[in-house]
Amino acid sequence: MIKYHFASLWLALTALMISSTMSHAQIVGKDTVLEADISEDNVAITTSFHGTNLLMFGAMSGAEGDDVVIIISGPDAPIATRRKENVSGIWINTKAVTWKNAPTYYQIFSNRPLGDILPDSELNRLKIGYKELPLTTEPTNLTKEALDGEWREALARTMGDANLWKNHPDAVSVIRGALFRVDVPLPKNIRPGEYDVRILHLRDGVLLSEKFNTISVQKQGVGAMIYRFAHDYSLFYGIFAVLFAVASGWLAAVAFRRS
């Protein structure tokens, strides 16, 4: 609750100073200002982490009817999509594509549906939407049309089912074209790393100003130690995991024999 009171106070002060404050914004149009902040720019993942919600808020020198689009993405990682086919009555994976630089989290928030804000040509030019992500794949004999079509759609469905890629129309509240706010969900299955935040202020389909920010998500506690050990010493972690599994099985067998 304290954070929400602070956010309201911050917004009010920003609205008063907006005519003279010109820092931290990339100005695209004349006399246009955009300011934004987030309730937490450092998120800790502990063993009890089950997801969280962040409050993003800001102010702009806008007008009634202006639009706000917020894109949050990161970190990139290899992600595989596979196609299953019925072979002699058995469903097996017959083809696979590995996207080498797919964002593990890609969510778009807007005050109304993207299609009502921008035409497809502008979404393409401004690189908004999963269809515009500059994804690369492992060598494959599939055509570019297939990769940008059915395989990219399959990737979007897979990530959407995991609540990691989503569009949130009508999620951004814009007040009198000057203030905006949105709740940003971070699910429990997010990865640690740096998350890029891109905020766009638009009017009648024209980009007026754009701002960038970051959110840092890091593991802490025992989980962080295990995570770093697994990544920095993967061979030893694998050996330890095998030995731990064998020891656990042996102890369980001894316990059952005694009982």
Note whether 233 and 208 are same-domain residues: no
- What's the pLDDT tens digit per position in 154-165? 999 999 999 999
Same domain, 226 and 165: no
pLDDT tens digits, 121-164: 999 999 999 999 999 887 777 788 888 888 999 999 999 999 99
Residues 240 and 145 in one domain: no
Task: Tell whether 33 and 103 lie within a shared domain.
Answer: yes
Same domain, yes or no: 26 and 105: yes
Task: Tell me the pTM.
Answer: 0.74
Residues pairing with 106 in the sheet:
73, 165
Split at pLDDT 50, 70, 90, the class of 242 is low
List, for residues 158-215, the tens digit of each pLDDT value: 999 999 999 999 999 999 889 999 999 999 999 999 999 999 999 999 999 999 999 9
Which domain, by its residues, includes 19?
A: 2-220
Distance, in Å, from the CA atom of 142 to the CA atom of 121, rounded to the nearest integer, reads 26
Q: How far apart are CA 207 and CA 126, in angstroms?
A: 9
Same domain (yes/no): 127, 233:
no
Question: Which ranges constitute the DSSP H helices of the chain?
Answer: 2-17, 114-117, 120-125, 144-146, 152-161, 222-232, 234-258
CATH (domain of 191)? 2.60.40.2550
Q: No. of H helices and E strands in the chain?
A: 7, 13
Strands 193-203 and 67-73: antiparallel
